[in-house]
Structure 1
Amino acid sequence: MLDYRAEFDAEVALEGGGELRARGFRLDIPHADVTEVEVTALLVAALAPQRVERAEVRGIRILAEPHPAAGRTPVERVRYVELSHVIEAGLVTFPGLPGPEITPHLTREASRGVYAPGTEFSIERISMVGNTGTYVDSPFHRYPDGTDLAGLPLERLAGLPAVVVRAVGGERGVTAEMLAHVTVAGRAVLLHTGGDRHWATPAYATGAPFLTADGARLLVDRGAALVGIDAVNIDDMSPATCGERPAHSLLLAAGIPIVENLTNLRQLPPCGARFTAVPPRIAEFGTFPVRAFATVPVEDPQT
């Protein structure tokens, strides 16, 4: 069994001024096939609590080393935090869109005539729009030539270092000013607005929190990997906007997936968690529900 490290050169610009340059820098990596995006995200996480404005890596070389003998390396303990809403028949996620229809395709009773005695199965059928429950938007949702669900790279969806932006009880819009001092490069930026407290009620879509255009532009410019929100839409849906969707347009044009209708973000620390929200690989499809969750390190009481 092998452990892997990445060796690379790096240039890092820190928020508030200052630069770091490294040659032959080494980091532990989870597998041998890491991408440049993954290595950059790991570098940014390793530099915490320093806030990184821009990070570039090059000349990546993968090193394999024998795994230490059993009992010599402590196992990381984590707790899992569920960040998805439950999908049920008839659930209304977005005003004007139909709720899912869940019906039996093969009942357990009917299956008894198909399988051996004592063996039975149930197969269900679901009909729903992609914008149901907690779901991810791919660039194809907004742009006809954008990446669809099948093309979304896993490094944009799984095991991302997360930063949680608290925006509860203030203005509806999450602005660039509110994000200015947050390290976002290579991270899942999760906007905790408290909007999920109204889930599955008429109030959920009324005066909902959102990400402003200048906030979205900052996240694009600083290299966020993914952006999520615990509200009905990442854009302002008020009639005064006349249907404009600047956050969707800017983020998806930059290839940044969006996860809407998150919940339980209050249970996450501001940083240190890892975020995952992976949809099925469906071609020519723009949005689909995800099982979003985070892992949070737990201190070993024996250490």
Structure 2
Amino acid sequence: MTTVERQAADRVALPATGRLIDLSMPIEPTPFDAAVMRKELWRHEHGGRRIGRKAAFNRRLPLRLRLARAVRYVAGGRRISPGCFPDGLFLGNEVLTLSVHAGSHVDAPFHYGPLTGDRPALRVDQIPLERCVGAGVLLRLTHKLTGEGPAQGITAADVREELARIGHTLSPGEVVLVHTGADRLWPGPRYFTAHPGMTVEATEYLLDQGISVIGVDTAGFDLPAPVMIERYYRSGDAAHLWPCHLLGRRREFLQIERLGGLDRLPRPTGFTVMFLPIHVSGAGAAWTRPVAIVPEEDT
């Protein structure tokens, strides 16, 4: 983070009043999403029996003690049952097996590679929280989502034209949100295979303006993986493979992927974005619940 960006981040102040707009997408297993592999539900009516068995057969105990407790459990002793709880209902619980790239999430520089330039890349738990709050700028590029057509790249010209349309000049520390409308394709297969993607030229243009956080409402920052891979197979040019992510090995920036509800923002500027990543030690990404804080007069 440059001195200018740090000073801009330090100047961000949360509005005293305002409305919160949820900009997140859910974490939910779908047949098309490899990032969420399994979701196990503990229903309230099953919880009493489950916790009873876990308490009786604690695998962390020495084998001899585990066997002794198992005998007592089978004989009816040392037993927690559903009847121990009001109405036979214990606590509910959900166990997820998933990637840190499931749902709305923040990609840290370490996701792109071990180094940013000649410095160790920031991991997600090393991101200063000041960088996770900033004045928002919404770029409406819904024309890049083309029905049944092939996925399109978002160019620097697209970005410049939209900034000219809304009459805004970017400033360091702002959080740019790219609205394509791809979130409405979720959870179908086209959400993962047909969304627009940022190009290197568009990303570098934003970085050149001092922007270090870019959010997208697409499943990934680049073009869909099947599109990039097929272009590589056809051309033999490895530059087609995750080019914007790999740009992060040269220039430091954060990506917020899988945003949703950007169409609910009432105007392109004048709101605050907050996206606090979950503290996953040493990881290259983490889940987040991003929100926009919109002034009361915009409600």
TM norm. shorter chain > 0.5: yes
Post-superposition offset of 1:147:
1.0
Q: Report the aligned-residue RMSD.
A: 3.1
Kindly indicate whether the alpha-carbon contact (under 8 Å) linking 1:41 and 1:161 is maintained by their aligned counterparts in 2: no
Higher RCO, 1 vs 2 (CA within 8 Å, ≥6 residues apart)? 2
Counterpart position of 2:63 = none
Aligned pair partner of 1:140 in 98, 104, 110? 110
Instruction: Output the CA distance in 1 between the equivalents of 2:264 and 2:298.
Output: 19
Q: Which amino acid aligns with 2:220?
A: N
Aligned pair partner of 2:158 in 157, 178, 195? 178
Structure 2 residue runs without a partner (length 5+): 53-79, 115-119, 146-151, 164-168, 233-237
Post-superposition offset of 1:139:
0.8
Matches within 5 A, 1:73-222: 76-88=16-28, 90-91=29-30, 94=33, 96-104=34-42, 108-110=47-49, 113=80, 120-144=90-114, 145-157=120-132, 159-170=133-144, 172-180=152-160, 181=163, 182-222=169-209
More strand by share: 1
Structure 1 residue runs without a partner (length 5+): 1-34, 47-74
Instruction: Output the CA distance in 2 between the equivalents of 1:129 and 1:166.
Output: 29
Instruction: Output the CA distance in 2 between the equivalents of 1:41 and 1:149.
Output: 17
Mark the CA change 1:92 to 1:132 in structure 2 (over 3 Å): closer, same or farther: farther
Aligned pair partner of 1:290 in 271, 285, 288? 288
Post-superposition offset of 1:251:
4.2
Count matched residues.
Answer: 235
SS of the equivalent of 1:219 reads helix
Mark the CA change 1:221 to 1:300 in structure 2 (over 3 Å): closer, same or farther: closer
- CA deviation map 1:252-295 (0-9, x unaligned): 64331101111111111200111112222222211222111111
Q: Which amino acid aligns with 1:146?
A: A
Counterpart position of 2:67 = none
Counterpart position of 1:72 = none
Instruction: Output the CA distance in 2 between the equivalents of 1:292 and 1:91.
Output: 22
Instruction: Output the CA distance in 1 between the equivalents of 2:129 and 2:38.
Output: 27
SS of the equivalent of 1:285 reads coil
Aligned pair partner of 1:264 in 261, 285, 290? 261
Percent identity over the alignment is 26
Mark the CA change 1:233 to 1:245 in structure 2 (over 3 Å): closer, same or farther: same
Q: Which amino acid aligns with 1:165?
A: L
Post-superposition offset of 1:105:
10
SS of the equivalent of 2:137 reads strand
Aligned pair partner of 2:217 in 230, 248, 254? 230
Q: TM-score, normalised by structure 1?
A: 0.67
Counterpart position of 2:251 = 254
Q: Which amino acid aligns with 1:174?
A: I
Q: TM-score, normalised by structure 2?
A: 0.68
Task: Mark the structure with the bigger radius of gyration.
Answer: 2
More helix by share: 2
SS of the equivalent of 2:37 reads coil
Kindly indicate whether the alpha-carbon contact (under 8 Å) linking 1:220 and 1:250 is maintained by their aligned counterparts in 2: no
Post-superposition offset of 1:206:
2.6
Post-superposition offset of 1:211:
0.9
SS of the equivalent of 1:186 reads coil
Instruction: Output the CA distance in 2 between the equivalents of 1:179 and 1:210.
Output: 13
Counterpart position of 1:24 = none
